[in-house]
Amino acid sequence: MPYKHSEERRHKFEKPLYKVTNWPEYNAALKRRGDFTMWFTEEAIAEWCPAKTGARGRPTKYSNVAIETALFIRQVFHLALRLTEGFMNSLARALKVEISIPDFSCISKRSIGLPRHAWGAHRIRKKSGAKPIHSSLRFRSARNCPSSTFRF
């Protein structure tokens, strides 16, 4: 039995127990914890597929907007790449939008070429008394602004 000499000090501090006194308020707070609202603008859907560049080689199937959206969803919900792909498929079905979703390997490979500030600058922190998260994915054209903007 290893560490048998430190047995009396192992559980020195007990976890404090809190009594819930207002159950309806506590129940409503638990429901609000998962509140997330997301809007896709028409221009974001229009820019989902990239414009033709005229350059040699195989054209990209998804624009940076699609990859940044996938990375944003992945970061907000703490999902793996395959789960992100599945979530985006279900989101497109729920919104009744006919767009193709990038697969997990495409998201992984294309995320390397994106600037870190495009999708990783906004950290979502879990707070006990936090308000619901409302995000608006608003994208500008690639000619005006190379990166997309996320609004909270």
What is the tens place of the pLDDT at every residue in 1-14? 566 666 666 667 77
141 or 44: whose pLDDT is higher?
44
Domain tally for the chain?
1
Q: What is the pTM of this model?
A: 0.59
Q: Does 139 fall in a domain?
A: yes
30 belongs to a structural domain: no
Domain presence at residue 2: no
Cα separation, 104 vs 134, in Å, equals: 25
Q: Is residue 7 part of a domain?
A: no
In a domain, 15, yes or no: no
Query: Is 109 inside a domain boundary?
Result: yes
Q: Is residue 32 part of a domain?
A: no
Q: Which residue range(s) make up the domain with 64?
A: 37-51+59-123+133-152
128 inside domain: no
The sign one gets for the Cα dihedral 126, 131, 137, 138 is negative
Query: Which pLDDT band, with edges at 50, 70 and 90, does 108 fall under?
Result: very high
